[in-house]
A = this chain, B = another copy of it.
Amino acid sequence: MKSEGIRKNNSSKVKLSEFEILNSFNRARQETNDEIIVPGGDDAAVISLPNRLVVCADIVVEGVHFSREYFSLSQIANKAVVVNISDLAAMGSTPKYLLAVITSPGDVDLNQLLTELDLAAKGFGARLIGGDISSGKDFSISITAIGEIDSKRRVMVRSGAIAGESIFVTGPLGGASMGLKLLQNQALPQSSDEKDAIRAHLEPNTALKAGLLISALGIGCAIDISDGLLGDLEHIAEGSKVGINLTDVPIARGASLSDALNGGEDYELIFTASMPEQILEAFKKAGLTAPYLIGECTAMPDQRHLFGKTYQPKGWQHFN
């Protein structure tokens, strides 16, 4: 799209490079196949997906979700992709296509960024098929992720939990939060735990394989932990009208209970299941790390118990 010309001093330069970059990026990716009828580079991409589509969009903004002081361009691209793939994972869907919209204050190597986004997408079996680049005061990456899920498969939703079901989480929590604090304090990592925590923050992973497995098992309720365990459990409690009774919380080594409960950004999955032994067996069979059984959904919708005591859910929305 043409710019308003309001920032006349630099917009022509940024626009020229945007034009060239997107053009050369798209020229290099003109392969079509049975699914991609028109690849990126036209007004729109045209795709054919036989199954149901799963779509989501999440943005990462410099100064809000990442800092170039400690994130490399490759890590920024990975994070932008992971936060979206994680949402697809929580629905039990296979990632297929991504669109990336980038704003840049002019000091971002857009060619490298597109290459890194493409690499990150491919790492999850997905493909970058379109997007837009604009100048802006912020450096930001907004990704739309499109996945598919077999029409015969149950869709996992926040409102799918049933009283009496066990609550699982796919990995230990709080590492990303601990890592952020270390990075903000510019502390050099003193131990392997601290190195792991910093890596958890800079290079978040996603429980995609676990999401696909539990979806295949017919699980009805899952959510990814982006806002913190208690905050995201709240979405399940409110959506499913169940109470929460937590008896265990897996904490990343070196992190605090508070990091694990409210830290967020771990991108593990929470899910609920009626037959916990079968779940553990299925994960073992699939060669995946066993999920942690952390508690159960109860028939008292207002109940919020942690280690036998009432808690006030305080996710990120109450941070001060």
**Residue A316 lies at the interface, judged by CB distance under 8 Å to chain B:** yes
> Are B42 and A158 interface neighbours, CB within 8 A?
yes
A75 to chain B, nearest CB (A): 13
Also in contact, A6 and B63, with CB within 8 A (given A44-B90, A144-B144):
yes
**Residue A293 lies at the interface, judged by CB distance under 8 Å to chain B:** no
Residue of B nearest to A222 (CB): B43
Of residues 142 to 156 in A, which have CB atoms within 8 Å of B's CB atoms?
142, 144-147, 149, 151, 155
> Are A44 and B134 interface neighbours, CB within 8 A?
no
**Residue A57 lies at the interface, judged by CB distance under 8 Å to chain B:** yes
Docked complex Cα distance between A307 and B10 (Å): 33
**Other-chain residue from B3, B227, B265 in contact with A65 (beta carbon distance below 8 A):** B3
> Are A53 and B46 interface neighbours, CB within 8 A?
yes
Docked complex Cα distance between A58 and B6 (Å): 19
**Residue A60 lies at the interface, judged by CB distance under 8 Å to chain B:** yes
Docked complex Cα distance between A20 and B315 (Å): 13
Chain A interfacial residues counted at CB < 8 A: 88
**Residue A317 lies at the interface, judged by CB distance under 8 Å to chain B:** yes
- Residues in B with CB closer than 8 Å to A184 are 6
Docked complex Cα distance between A118 and B244 (Å): 35
**Residue A300 lies at the interface, judged by CB distance under 8 Å to chain B:** no
Interface centre among A20, A38, A226, by most B CB within 10 Å? A38
Also in contact, A264 and B316, with CB within 8 A (given A61-B103, A138-B137):
no
**Residue A228 lies at the interface, judged by CB distance under 8 Å to chain B:** yes
**Residue A4 lies at the interface, judged by CB distance under 8 Å to chain B:** yes
Residue of B nearest to A93 (CB): B44
**Interface flags, A10-22, vs B, CB<8A=1, else 0:** 0110011001100
Q: A43-B86, A58-B101 are in contact. List 6 more A-B contacts (CB 8 A).
A: A4-B63, A46-B155, A47-B53, A57-B130, A103-B138, A132-B142
25 contacts between A and B (CB under 8 A): A2-B263, A4-B64, A4-B65, A5-B319, A6-B184, A7-B64, A12-B316, A12-B317, A16-B317, A19-B317, A44-B93, A45-B56, A47-B53, A47-B55, A55-B144, A56-B130, A57-B99, A61-B103, A61-B136, A63-B137, A101-B101, A103-B138, A132-B142, A140-B140, A142-B142
Interface residues, chain A, with chain B CB atoms under 8 Å away: 1-7, 11-12, 15-16, 19-20, 37-38, 41-49, 52-61, 63-67, 83, 86-88, 90-91, 93, 97, 99-101, 103, 129-132, 134-138, 140, 142, 144-147, 149, 151, 155, 157-159, 180, 184, 222-224, 226-228, 263-265, 316-320
